[in-house]
Structure 1
């Protein structure tokens, strides 16, 4: 049964990519797929978020800073473990340049899980202004579709990634650190960062 599902997944993915190349909107999205890939890359997000924590010392941001950092680390570890366990090979792309990547396993899509996790946090756990919801959801959708169009993942990989992002978001809801706990964590990481630290400048 599993082999049958995987075969259908490969066929449907190929049909989707072939059809997308004949559709103006999706063909345009494919052209921006590399940019979308970078916008949700794990290393890029982790480095950017650490920089954000270091540069912006605002008590109102402590809770989001700490919880998002934990969520990003959680996502990277969970995706790496699942990929090592499942070991499903990535699609063989028509464009051989698309084959270049950090690893050779495709299930689940780390980009899709990360995008969904970030959106879940910014919409449900530490909500941003409602005016940011449409572009945030558009970004998640574009990242998910672009992973298939770029031939880095099968459709099932992306759906699993989106589902994983939701599960990780629910887990973060259960362990969500309070403002005071977040401030204590940041204080322990960098005594100079927070007001009241022994070496605060």
Structure 2
């Protein structure tokens, strides 16, 4: 009986094969859905490998993380370079130059630099809050870390500020080749100091440099001229005066 069933099945397959038109190819079997997970696993493995490389390179570069590190003797010098890219000296210097400016053009440049620094703080804070990447384990707290607690590392605020300020100065202030080399070198050293002190990972600094470079393009588009600022201030002053005059008129009318 089993032999008869097998023979019937073979005859049915042969009949179907004979009915197939000439020149047609046999269709491949339907996809089983295993290709998607395999690609996902490969992508996940690639991301894991890149993350391990980032961690390994960042750990190798953190040679000034503490006094016991291989380059711990130059840690004070590296921290001084790091402080030169902090937001506090930049804001204080910019506001002082803005108030003591000798002409309108210089005050306009300093005004936009101050606005650019505030914009940088805002954008970096937003990205850090969204990504929430913890700082490296070997990062060591110091005096500035005590007053300005920083929990997240991506992106590097020093790197974004260094890139943005360097491009700002190159476009607005610097006009000699030697000063251009000095500004670019300063931005490079500030970014490198964050890696030597183990404050950030390599990807934090790399993304920060790219982000800061692009931020200046936004600053150029939103450039505030001195005449525009005067118009805004006069408009706000006129609104306040009208509001105060309206309040006095209503008080007199009630009496």
* 2:187 paired residue number: 140
Take 1:92 and 1:156, find their aligned partners in 2: how far apart are those partners? 16
* 1:70 paired residue number: 115
Cα deviations by residue, 1:20-43 (Å, 9 ceiling, x for unpaired) = 9768xx974x44221122211113
Distance change >3 Å, CA 14–CA 179, structure 1 → 2: same
* 1:122 paired residue number: 169
> Is 2:97–2:107's contact at 8 Å kept on the other side of the alignment?
no
1:151 aligns with 2:206: no
* 2:152 paired residue number: 105
1:163 aligns with 2:163: no
Most deviating of 159-168 and 45-54: 45-54
- Per the TM alignment, residue 62 of structure 1 is displaced from its structure 2 partner at its CA by 2.5
* 1:53 paired residue number: 98
> What TM-score does the superposition give when structure 1 sets the normalisation length?
0.78
Q: Which sections of structure 2, spanning at least 5 residues, go unmatched?
A: 1-43, 237-255
* 1:14 paired residue number: 59
> What TM-score does the superposition give when structure 2 sets the normalisation length?
0.63
Question: Number of aligned pairs?
Answer: 186
RMSD of aligned C-alpha atoms?
A: 3.0
- Per the TM alignment, residue 183 of structure 1 is displaced from its structure 2 partner at its CA by 5.6
Take 1:49 and 1:97, find their aligned partners in 2: how far apart are those partners? 25
Take 1:99 and 1:63, find their aligned partners in 2: how far apart are those partners? 31
Distance change >3 Å, CA 171–CA 31, structure 1 → 2: same
- Per the TM alignment, residue 179 of structure 1 is displaced from its structure 2 partner at its CA by 4.8
Whose RCO is larger (CA < 8 A, sep 6+)? 1
Distance change >3 Å, CA 65–CA 18, structure 1 → 2: closer
Larger radius of gyration: 2
